[in-house]
């Protein structure tokens, strides 16, 4: 029997675990997931699960478009097929706005989403007046939110149903799992310690969750000091910060002021909303997403799937397509 271990039970580890366990179900392959923590204590649990590529500039647009398309299509299928409530998936209109004097080129992924349109100058001017901003350009399209607090338990259920087994444990070094034939590394920021990957760094993000059931639309101001408002099914997320190499998990009063003041400029009625909680998470930043096989002499090969920055939910399903592909290739080449 071949033994595969996936390290990390966040959105990327669980997506990879589901793909591998379902592919090898009822074959002579044992699939194990080992993770220090799972939902609601992963990075994804802080996020709104908004489908949009963000903070992954070092990875090619072609890869981002391919991976994000696979996730978009997957969320759409779950949404169509009666799993929206269980997985926390909603289809939402979004405004993407910039005040950059040079505007913004339409992203390569524009053909992935439904109804991508550039706003005309009248509409950009109206939103500038409403938000007290000087937007130079904007786009409108339909996207999905896939809420990790619901999506991760769904993935875990699917993984266990496909015969996978789960062990809650911290791994300090990759060699602690040397009894396995293949290691899939999805430890996010933990990869810094587990595989000594010095290209990983934290991108701190602070957000607030409020009760505002009258908001059904995403506003995403994409400039460096921009705010965003993202509805989830039970609350609305106000954001947000992205502080590179900042490892503080404390709520910062300055960040709270930036978030609330900025979001109230976009939708003044936020003033009346009850604040449910404020949260901080550390996005797993990396110069480039690492999705590749590392062959090691005398040791089990490792497939790395880490460094998804602010897009882990957006890219999870597409990246796990590639993880499965790399796994199948290793089996074919008898490297296992």
CB of 268 to ligand FAD, least distance (A): 24
In angstroms, rounded to a whole number, what is the distance separating the alpha carbons of residues 100 and 203?
Answer: 22
SS3 label, residue 24: coil
Per CB under 6 A, 318 contacts ligand FAD:
no
Query: In terms of CB distance, is 119 or 194 closer to ligand FAD?
Result: 194
Question: For 298, left (φ over 0), alpha (ψ -120 to 50), or beta?
Answer: left
Point out which span in 116-124, 184-192, 219-227, 291-299 binds ligand FAD (CB under 6 A).
184-192
Question: Which of these, 280, 273, 281, lies nearest to 236 by C-alpha position?
Answer: 273
312 is in an annotated binding site: yes
In angstroms, rounded to a whole number, what is the distance separating the alpha carbons of residues 323 and 19?
Answer: 8
Question: Which of these, 71, 99, 50, 65, lies nearest to 233 by C-alpha position?
Answer: 50
CB of 120 to ligand FAD, least distance (A): 27
Region 50-109 residues binding ligand FAD, contact defined as CB under 6 A: 50
- Containing 153, the helix (H) or strand (E) segment is helix 148-161
| In the block, residue with structure tokens 């996020």 | 47
CB of 331 to ligand FAD, least distance (A): 24
Point out which span in 23-31, 266-274, 312-320, 321-329 binds ligand FAD (CB under 6 A).
312-320
Question: Which of these, 34, 325, 284, 38, lies nearest to 174 by C-alpha position?
Answer: 34
187 is in an annotated binding site: yes
Point out which span in 46-54, 95-103, 131-139, 243-251 binds ligand FAD (CB under 6 A).
46-54
CB of 113 to ligand FAD, least distance (A): 14
Q: Residues of 311-331 as b/e, b for ≥16 C-beta within 10 angstroms?
A: bbbbbbbbbbbbbbebbeebb
Point out which span in 5-13, 89-97, 156-164, 218-226 binds ligand FAD (CB under 6 A).
5-13
Per CB under 6 A, 205 contacts ligand FAD:
yes
Which of residues 3, 23, 37, 69 is near ligand FAD by CB under 6 A?
A: 37
Q: Can you give the binding site for ligand FAD, defined by CB under 6 A?
A: 7-13, 34-38, 42-44, 46-50, 170-171, 186-190, 193-194, 205, 207, 240, 281, 283-284, 308-314
């Amino acid at each position: 029997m071949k033994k595969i271990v996936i390290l990390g039970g966040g959105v990327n580890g669980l997506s990879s675990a589901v793909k591998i366990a379902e592919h090898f179900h009822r074959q002579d392959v044992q699939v194990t997931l080992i993770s220090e923590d799972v939902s609601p204590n992963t990075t994804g649990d802080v996020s709104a699960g908004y489908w949009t590529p963000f903070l992954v500039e070092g990875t090619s647009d072609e890869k981002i478009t391919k991976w994000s398309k696979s996730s978009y299509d997957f969320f759409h299928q779950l949404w169509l097929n009666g799993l929206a409530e269980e997985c926390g998936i909603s289809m939402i209109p979004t405004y993407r706005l910039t005040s950059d004097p040079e505007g913004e080129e339409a992203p390569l992924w524009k053909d992935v989403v439904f109804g991508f349109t550039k706003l005309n100058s009248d509409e950009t001017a109206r939103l500038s007046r409403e938000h007290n901003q000087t937007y130079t350009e904007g786009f409108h399209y339909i996207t999905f939110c896939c809420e990790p607090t619901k999506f991760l338990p769904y993935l875990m259920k699917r993984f266990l149903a496909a015969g996978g087994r789960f062990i809650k444990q911290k791994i300090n070094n990759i060699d602690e799992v040397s009894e396995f034939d293949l290691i899939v590394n999805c430890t996010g920021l933990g990869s810094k310690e587990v595989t000594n990957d010095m290209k990983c760094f934290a991108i701190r993000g602070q957000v607030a969750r409020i009760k505002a059931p009258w908001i059904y639309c995403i506003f995403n101001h994409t400039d460096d000091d921009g705010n965003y408002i993202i509805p989830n099914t039970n609350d609305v997320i106000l954001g947000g910060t992205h502080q590179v190499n900042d490892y503080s998990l404390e709520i910062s009063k300055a960040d709270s002021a930036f978030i609330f003041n900025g979001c109230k400029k976009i939708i003044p009625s936020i003033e009346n909303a009850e604040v449910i909680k404020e949260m901080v998470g550390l996005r797993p930043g990396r110069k480039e997403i690492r999705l590749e096989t590392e062959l090691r002499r005398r040791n089990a090969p490792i497939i790395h799937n880490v460094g998804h920055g602010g897009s882990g939910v957006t890219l999870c399903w597409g990246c796990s397509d590639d993880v499965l592909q790399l796994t199948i290739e290793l089996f074919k080449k008898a490297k296992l």
